[in-house]
């Protein structure tokens, strides 16, 4: 079983319901065991700053154990996103769009994958406070397999100044 960390985010529609739906779906899959979930945060969209509040995300990080290989897990996550109305396509690479549900594989144990459609660790993990803060809530001492720093150390050094606050 691999120890995996996922980032969940939503900024369209009933954001809370989409996160809850994703967590319930992860919890019912026989190949996945949900270990921990961070608190939910309300965050400014990345890479924007000073975006209107109605475009802000709800974000959390979930720790799971799974038997699924990274590519099989990615396929399942895309199915969960599609079940929440997420459509793929849209903006060009490097551009971002609002979404009902976004689930990213942040870390998959100490595995490193670098393909055109799957990169583990997530290539922007170390730059995003909205991911690092909830990840640090549940795994502060987990070591990044490429940077060889703990999540707490990375968070302490992040330059991202976008707003993040506990939700609810």
Range of the domain at 132: 2-166
Q: Looking at residue 6, which CATH number applies to its domain?
A: 3.30.70.560
pLDDT of residue 89: 67
Q: Say yes or no to pLDDT of 78 above 90.
A: yes
Pairwise pLDDT comparison (51 vs 158), residue with the higher score? 158
User: Would you say residue 133 has pLDDT above 60?
Assistant: yes
0.85 cut: is pTM over it?
Answer: yes
Please give the pLDDT value at position 48.
73
Other C-beta atoms within 10 Å of 102: how many?
Answer: 21
CA distance 120 to 137: 20
**pLDDT value, residue 90:** 62
Q: Count how many domains the chain has.
A: 1
Give the CA distances from residue 84 to residues 53, 89, 143, in Å, rounded to whole numbers and listed in that order.
22, 16, 32
Of 87 and 8, the one with more pLDDT: 8
Residue 4 in contact with residue 69, Cβ under 8 Å?
Answer: no
């Amino acid at each position: 079983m691999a120890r995996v960390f996922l980032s969940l985010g939503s900024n369209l529609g009933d954001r809370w319901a989409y996160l809850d739906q994703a967590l319930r779906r992860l919890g019912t899959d026989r190949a996945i065991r949900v270990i921990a979930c961070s608190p939910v945060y309300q965050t400014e969209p990345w890479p924007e700053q000073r975006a209107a509040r109605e475009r802000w995300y709800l974000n959390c990080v979930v720790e799971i154990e799974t038997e699924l290989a990274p590519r099989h897990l990615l396929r399942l996550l895309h199915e969960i996103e599609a079940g929440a109305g997420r459509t793929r396509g849209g903006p060009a690479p490097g551009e971002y769009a609002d979404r009902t549900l976004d689930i990213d594989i942040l870390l998959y144990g100490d595995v490193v994958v670098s393909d055109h459609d799957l990169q583990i660790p997530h290539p922007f993990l170390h730059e995003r406070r909205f991911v690092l803060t909830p990840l640090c809530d549940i795994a502060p001492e987990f070591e990044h397999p490429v940077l060889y720093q703990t999540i707490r150390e990375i968070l302490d050094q992040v330059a991202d100044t976008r707003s993040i606050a506990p939700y609810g």
